Structure 1
Amino acid sequence: MDWILNPILLSALCSLSSCVLQPEFVLFKEKKTWREAQSFCRENCLDLATIEDLGDIETVLRSVEGQYDDAVWIGLMKGEQRWHWSITEKDFYKKGEREDFIWDIQEDTGFNCGAFNNGTLFVRECITTQRSICFDGGKQGRDQYVHVANARTWIAARDHCRQFYTDLTSVRNDAEYQIIREVAGDQQVWVGLFRDIWVWSDQTLSSFRYWKTGKAVYTPSDGNCGALMKSVSGRWGERLRAEKHPFLCKCGLTMMHLKMTISSQDAVLEENLPAMKNDLLIQIKKELAEKGVNVTELQWKSFVRATKQN
């Protein structure tokens, strides 16, 4: 990122992209229905917890460890059915690439997994066994796309790709459609497309799922909300929203500090520091807004380093 600031300050800053924003998850032990928990989180925090990746899972499991007996509500609920890609990282997709679907014939078969053949996508039953294309984020160019010849179900193919590569591949744009067509040849293959009915309370479009092992991509059931389940080591299960459980709220964002050292011997810097600091706050707030993070308060904290006395 380019900073439009006095050059003296540039060498003392980390770029905003290297300063990590993390959600703050808070467990409330009072048992409530899912709707009651949702209302409480919206009134007192941001919303029920949205869990977007394995990093969030690790944070959440640390925050609830040993503090619940059965289940903990999170912000997952049944809503409108839609298609997702198995790779969840936000920065992996440019605008519009999550929905760049080129279907052959999108029949309403009731099946919930996506396959690729001859440049187009197909809806297939998830228990069908066929070849797959994995994505390897550690490689570059065409080498990122790995044709796996062993026939597997969609879930088994996804788990194989996650174990040995990154995940089943997404198909994001025209260039990727062409590469995958060349890699797959005339074979129909699994890609990372799946459909389910789960949505997040705060309307985040995350496709991350952490269901108990062996759960189908989506099957109708009596449960209508998602919860962390102690019986399966914090993986998710479906529960009826009228049940009462502890719940997990997302209560804000914490940011790693931008750290800089100022020498009191630098008269030019000291003279211009207030204006430069104000400019920097404006720049940071703008960058955060572009990343979809609304900041209500942003301020400096100053610390004076003690000098060693001889």
Structure 2
Amino acid sequence: MATAVVTLLFLSGLFSSCHGQAGQYHYVSNQLNWTEAQNYCRTHYSDLVTIRSQAEHTRFKTYLGDQGKKSIWIGLYNDIKSWRWSLDDNGLEQIGFSNWSKGEPDNKLGVQSCGDFYDGAWSDTSCTIQYPFICYDEKESAAKYILISKPKSWNDAQEYCREHHTDLASSRNQEENRWLASSSDNRTVWIGLFRDTWKWSDQSKIRFTAWHPNYPSNNRVNDDCAGYSNGYWYDRLCPNRYNFVCQSGKCSTSMHLNYLCLQCFFCVRSQIGNQEQIQSNSQRTNLFNNNSDGRQKHSTGTGRVHRQTGSQVQANNPDRAGRGLVQRQAEFTGRQAGRQTDSGKQSKTTGRRLGQKQAGSRGLLHKTRIRD
């Protein structure tokens, strides 16, 4: 059981290590829209390219060369369909109820990812704007909806509601929507509606960006996919058709179970094999050099200790007068390997056999643990 736990922890570490690998780039000259490009990469490689750091961005730019002067799809997209409620994290599509104002959500200027409430309907708005807000308190029996008049940003409003009540108020059905309308005092207020913004196709978190100044802009309302050109990222219309770059040879957290999973498996198996070899060699060396009973020490199972003992004594007895002493010390040292006869030769042979037997037993134990 302990071996299984250690193995799982070891695998976990390897997957974490694999996740940080940049992978190999594959430029595809076919012009496809973003969704088609994503499907192509997931079928033939791993996914559309992910750029996680300045170092990866520099490597990607160098790889493209002159091909990077024109627009190219990368794996970044704006997740405009991820609207959900702060209270229970349930999505609108899952709940099946929405009450957007006409023309909303429109993600104006590409920065609108929080929801406000006015006159019974919702709009998407920049999360940094300060509005009054409505908290929900599940512990209250009567006044569960509390209007807070002091304006705050959406994030600050959420923090306040969670600290003093339960959360920002939700509108998951017509009844809750009516409660919000009666509590808002005809003001524009924050509610607990929000969505994810830009994310990578393989579901990696964004830790680095290289947007061109003033981008993303969402100039054409639905610029929800990212293209690369001349060292910068731009938000583009997803139906546009560009060349693109796929990535392979990396391990990832992506949930689509195709090439990514296989590549992570072989990535991990390769590293496990190397680790097993190192561990096996280390265990074999420790077996011979550090026998647990302390009564016999085999350097390599070849009787090297016996020869060393004889050499040391002979150095002090150049006239071979100490031969009897050599014999007695060799017998004492090799007692567990077999009785010493003929100047330690039998002990040398027996020691070698014992070493091979112990090494074989260790190898069998090692194989058994791998199967477990």
The interval holding the TM-score normalised by the smaller chain is: 0.3 to 0.5
Higher relative contact order structure (alpha carbons within 8 Å, sequence separation ≥ 6): 1
In terms of fraction of residues, the more helix-rich structure is: 2
Larger Rg: 2
TM-score, length-scaled by structure 1: 0.47
